[in-house]
Copies of this chain bind each other. A is one copy, B any other.
């Protein structure tokens, strides 16, 4: 009789496009993955999870270890959080319920300072990591995720019991190893804050303009005016990052423009959030970066204008939801 090596147990908090895609990929690779769901619980419990991927083909996970409540879930070694950043303050009880004593919590969200919000509601014994997803996915039906392109997750350590650089790196590399075992590229980020700024160079223009102008990347890149606006917003975010001490790669904006042009039409999450009248992730993607750059002496004027327009729309949406 041989002893089976410890197989990490992974909990997925928020089984939307991001949580559903990565959770399914990890489960297919043999990890013990448990999915927390809300409105889609019935569908997923009965019909499983599907990823219709332009890269990997049609994938189907059935049965799914699906839960309607965190109290029913076993303690997990890893938690992947794929919920909207607008709900981070409310995640404390759920994560405390599901986390094993020294669990590692990977926050798969865009924007700035999202880990800080989570840190404030979690015990010190839990590790928090940040993950940046370079992936084009969106939820097209209950339990069904379309995966259009890319897939990498950059991971970095935020805070927790790992005191020195070596133990932090060990945690991050263990996290990267999970993804790599599932065939997903997972670069380790030396500087999480800088990496978050770098990702904002894409998210600030495309997320906001896709919602404001009701358009996907192909439409936005195909029009000379919106393309120039995207470039101007990118340049401002790069300057904002620099004001905060983060030097981004040379010609980074141009690189992102080229990558985006090579993609088939993609509608970022904020487009879908608006279409489905969900709250927009304005705090993490706009308000925090604006305040951080401002504190460092740089006003991102166009980014602020875009933020203000989106905040108007978001407030109108909220009022419509409450009525």
Give the residues from 185 to 242 in chain A that come closer than 8 angstroms, CB to CB, to chain B. Answer: 209, 212-213, 215, 219-220, 223, 225-226, 228-229, 232-233
Interface 0/1 of A90-131, CB less than 8 Å to B: 000000000000000000000000000000000000000000
Measured CB to CB, the closest approach of chain B to A1, in angstroms, equals 65
Tell yes or no: A68 within 8 A of B by CB.
no
Contact (Cβ within 8 A) B306 A213 = no
Tell yes or no: A35 within 8 A of B by CB.
no
Q: Which of B226, B307, B309, B316 contacts A308 (CB 8 A)?
A: B226
Q: Which residues of B contact A209 (CB under 8 A)?
A: 309
This chain's copy number in the assembly = 2
Tell yes or no: A272 within 8 A of B by CB.
no
Contact (Cβ within 8 A) A228 B308 = yes
Measured CB to CB, the closest approach of chain B to A235, in angstroms, equals 11
Measured CB to CB, the closest approach of chain B to A238, in angstroms, equals 15
Contact (Cβ within 8 A) A223 B302 = no
Interface 0/1 of A301-318, CB less than 8 Å to B: 110111111011101100
Q: Which residues of B contact A302 (CB under 8 A)?
A: 301-302, 305
Contact (Cβ within 8 A) A315 B229 = no
Measured CB to CB, the closest approach of chain B to A316, in angstroms, equals 8
Q: Roughly how many angstroms separate A99 CA and B307 CA in the complex, as a whole number?
A: 49
Residue ranges of A at the interface with B (Cβ–Cβ < 8 Å) = 209, 212-213, 215, 219-220, 223, 225-226, 228-229, 232-233, 301-302, 304-309, 311-313, 315-316
6 A-B pairs with CB atoms under 8 Å apart are: A225-B308, A225-B309, A225-B311, A226-B308, A233-B305, A301-B302
14 additional A-B pairs beyond A225-B309, A301-B301, A305-B305, beta carbons within 8 Å, are A212-B212, A213-B309, A215-B312, A219-B316, A223-B316, A225-B307, A225-B308, A229-B305, A229-B309, A232-B304, A232-B305, A233-B305, A305-B306, A309-B309
